[in-house]
Amino acid sequence: MYPYLDADSGEFINSENLKVHPRMKELYKFFKKNGRLINIDDFDKDILNIFSRTVLKMILNGENGWEEMLPKGIANIIKQKRLFGYSRSRIKK
């Protein structure tokens, strides 16, 4: 599980401190106990504020800046293949 940074508390949320809905608690415990849910401890704290839904929304709205949120080379592939609704004519200046 890649951690999530709780902006309010500044705490990293992982499988040890994630709050799970009561109806899902037993299923969550099952996955955790059987090694199907593990924490990723070696993570980049500088990118925890980047969310795929934000990047996608920026692409769809023709906003600038989404390229810097992706790993090197990925933005070029998206542009070349016109993925996720990318269109050069929609870019806002």
Q: For 67-86, what is the mean pLDDT? A: 94
**pLDDT tens-place string over residues 4-14:** 999 899 999 99
**pLDDT tens-place string over residues 20-45:** 999 999 999 999 999 999 999 999 99
Whether 39 and 3 have beta carbons less than 8 Å apart is answered as: yes
Kindly tell me if the per-residue pLDDT of 89 is higher than 80: no
Q: For 78-85, what is the mean pLDDT? A: 93
DSSP β-ladder status, 12-13 and 4-5: antiparallel
Kindly tell me if the per-residue pLDDT of 81 is higher than 80: yes
User: What radius of gyration do the chain's Cα atoms show?
Assistant: 18
